[in-house]
Structure 1
Amino acid sequence: MNKIKVAIADDHKIFGQSLGMLIQAVSDFELLFVAENGLDFLEKLKAAPAPPDVALLDIDMPGMNGIELNRQLHRNKSDIKVIMLSVHLEEELITQVIDDGAASYLAKNCDKDDLIKAVRMVYEEGFYINQLTLRALTLAAKNRNKSPKKLKPVHETLTDRERDILDLICKEYNNTEIAQILFISVRTVEGHRNNLLAKTNSRNTAGLVLFAIRHELFEMPT
């Protein structure tokens, strides 16, 4: 079984080391390195034997913080899936880092089981949205919808088939499962998913879920 390769960036050494020990204790995880900030992360990334599948990034770090590191990883078209960790729980901040390409956002005092689940879900499905993030995204979407934002009308953006696939993506079905449910090929699903990413200007699956919530196309169960 291939292990999920994880890298960490946090300037608080005790927290970073403790988080590293937690990752090492999970049988299907492999810890690649622990960095002290964004710049250190990029240096260690160059020297790593393989890129991480998932990166756990603290938002507040000197030199280069997690927000800028997340942006830089996605500007470089990295396949690394990012989980942001922070004590800041403001709705706009959470929404912004998801817009920037993060696959999940967790409070630094989250339960360890939630963290482990997030790493696995992000690796397997491309996103993980817990109740904290869901509330933030929903509130931010409502606030945006109250103001005259220039969001492109959904009915001009998505076909009925694309809406069906977006709904199933939000319900955490993978491409193979979606193909079986809709009686189409996996390649067709992949094509529709790519079209959704392009039409919605989303960086990844988490961005598609954010788009669906913003436009009230999907309401995640509580």
Structure 2
Amino acid sequence: MKHTIVIVDDHILIAKALSSIIAHFNDFTVLYECENGVDLQEKFKDKNNLPDIVLLDVSMPIMNGFETAKWLTQNHPTIAVMALSMQNEESSVIKMLKNGAKGYLLKNTYPTDLEEALQKLVTQGFFYPDWAATTIHTHEENQEKIQAALKESFTARELEFLGYAATDLSYKEIAGKMFCSVRTIENYKESLCTKLNIKSRVGLAVFAIKTDLF
């Protein structure tokens, strides 16, 4: 049985193009397309319209991707949300993750990469591109042990910064809250990235969310 997908994007040509591409995937099928979150909410009133996955545009009128992802997480937590965007801005990625998105994909992705991302979303529960990925893999059964071991490896200030890294605050705003310089904040970030073998702040946010540290 194929995994069902709903596409939410206010650009009709993009939505139709995605549907056409996914039609060639062996394990996935598109149920329908929506123009925004409100349109999706109306469709969801019919339980036959509930999919396995929602491909969700970040920037939309009326009800944007951030609001829609949060609504889906609160009302339909079993549906996996994959965010779609033209930009890889850290603040947007982190905000989508905080609102429950299980993955983030740029719209200039090749069809083969889209299919791979969907497969990983289904089999692993998450998908993040290389620039956001972490080499740390966690499982529910040993989550407490992982958290305890990691907290022993971090300083209190690094843990404090890690909490802020999982928000959409800028480095300058984080520095203000931690009463230190932006350079000190950058040092915390570099230290954590080195310890965890992570490439970016987005990766740190992914790690914090996946391990339930924050």
TM-score (norm 1): 0.62
Query: Following TM superposition, by how much is the alpha carbon of 1:67 offset from its aligned partner in structure 2, in angstroms?
Result: 1.0
Cα 1:50/1:191, change in 2 over 3 Å: farther
For 2:131 and 2:47, how far apart are their aligned partners in 1? 33
Q: What's the counterpart of residue 147 of structure 1?
A: none
For 2:84 and 2:72, how far apart are their aligned partners in 1? 16
Cα 1:8/1:48, change in 2 over 3 Å: farther
* 2:102 is the counterpart of 1:103: yes
Query: Following TM superposition, by how much is the alpha carbon of 1:191 offset from its aligned partner in structure 2, in angstroms?
Result: 4.1
Q: What's the counterpart of residue 3 of structure 1?
A: 2
Query: Following TM superposition, by how much is the alpha carbon of 1:36 offset from its aligned partner in structure 2, in angstroms?
Result: 0.8
Q: What's the counterpart of residue 54 of structure 1?
A: 53
Q: What's the counterpart of residue 129 of structure 1?
A: 128
Query: Following TM superposition, by how much is the alpha carbon of 1:70 offset from its aligned partner in structure 2, in angstroms?
Result: 0.2
Q: What's the counterpart of residue 218 of structure 1?
A: 196
Query: Following TM superposition, by how much is the alpha carbon of 1:88 offset from its aligned partner in structure 2, in angstroms?
Result: 2.3
TM-score (norm 2): 0.64
Is the CA contact (8 Å cut-off) linking 1:94 and 1:133 kept in structure 2? no
For 2:123 and 2:100, how far apart are their aligned partners in 1? 16
For 2:120 and 2:130, how far apart are their aligned partners in 1? 15
Q: Return the letter of the residue paired with 2:94.
A: T
Q: Return the letter of the residue paired with 1:107.
A: L
Deviations 1:133-159 (A, max 9, x none): 34xxx8xxxxxxxxxxxxxxxxxxxxx
For 1:99 and 1:113, how far apart are their aligned partners in 2? 27
Q: What's the counterpart of residue 74 of structure 1?
A: 73
Cα 1:167/1:99, change in 2 over 3 Å: same
Query: Following TM superposition, by how much is the alpha carbon of 1:219 offset from its aligned partner in structure 2, in angstroms?
Result: 2.4
Query: Following TM superposition, by how much is the alpha carbon of 1:48 offset from its aligned partner in structure 2, in angstroms?
Result: 5.1
Deviations 1:163-216 (A, max 9, x none): xxx9443xxxxxxxxxxxxxxxxxxx64445x58x99xxxxxxxxxx8xx9955
Is the CA contact (8 Å cut-off) linking 2:66 and 2:95 kept in structure 1? no
What does 1:1-222 correspond to in 2, within 5 Å? 2-47=1-46, 49=48, 51-134=50-133, 167-169=136-138, 190-193=140-143, 216=193, 218-219=196-197
For 1:131 and 1:190, how far apart are their aligned partners in 2? 23
Cα 1:220/1:53, change in 2 over 3 Å: farther
Is the CA contact (8 Å cut-off) linking 2:8 and 2:57 kept in structure 1? yes
5+ residue gaps, structure 2, are 149-165, 167-188, 200-214
Cα 1:9/1:112, change in 2 over 3 Å: same
5+ residue gaps, structure 1, are 139-165, 170-188, 200-209
